[in-house]
A and B are shown apart, each in its own frame.
Chain A
């Protein structure tokens, strides 16, 4: 598959006569990055698969109105982030009524997940991450694993770089404390 730029893909979507094919190329271009972004937040592969599909369905519906105020990658990342945070919020709300809290459930998912092949230290780090508030976990994932610049993160999460730096710092402190105490 030829590597098209975002601009070329958007031009093809709008004026190419075959928006389905152009959108297919957009999905192929960004599916993996968005998958891992969502997966680190919701842990389960099945939930990630569902949220990733929903992300692209929403992108398809909104793409004709996309005015390119941000670039395509930032825009898609923002949709995926909102989908993930919304999913976790709904999950927590549901689990307020059940005996097991969301953190415990995600912990169990890591232990029993057939698609988790990390070593013991990685498992420990994932469990430490689950202790963080969702937004702090998101910032940590984007900075530590995805090595994203604060400026890019600020555009995606629509916040200031200052607050992102503070969030990342707090996240690291908490993880460090958790790992030291174990």
Chain B
């Protein structure tokens, strides 16, 4: 490939290898100083950096308050929990614990006792209605006919 490239380069023999471009007069004499200036300019803070510098203390203070508020909020949520679902869960846990401690007979007794108290309540309720109607002037016979 090297030989082939050398042959091809023969074709460019008529060309001057020197660059056809030129630079403004004195360009390279001043260039290094201009680079130093550009570096100096880049080291100066820009408008945005100046604003950030100015607002830094205020931003820091706001961040502290926001963090404190967040911690307090999380603490309240964790320690003072008034979630009704969670409350029911606690009750059902207690119920489960006690149910496991009770015998079958005790459970049946509890069920009958609940049914009896309901019947008593229902009877008391009927008597109260009859008393009320009698007081209001209804005839006892009419009432029994209705019943």
What residues of chain A have their CB less than 8 Å away from a CB belonging to chain B?
A: 20, 23-24, 27-28, 31-32, 35-36, 39-40, 43, 45, 49, 52-53, 56-57, 60, 113, 115-119, 121-123, 125-126, 144-145, 147, 165-166, 168-169, 172-173, 176, 179
Contact = CB atoms under 8 A, between A and B. Distances in A.
Contacts of B14: 121
Contacts of B36: 20, 23-24
What are the 6 closest A-B residue pairs judged by CB atoms, nearest first?
A118-B20, A122-B20, A27-B32, A172-B8, A56-B35, A115-B22
For the residues of B in contact with A, the DSSP-based class is helix
B4 A31 contact: no
A53 B15 contact: no
Contacts of A117: 20-22
A122 B15 CA distance: 7
A57 B42 contact: yes
Interface string B37-72: 011001000000000000000000000000000000
Interface stretch (B23-31, B111-119, B133-141): B23-31
B20 A53 contact: no
Contact of A173 (B2, B8, B17, B32): B8
A121 B15 contact: yes
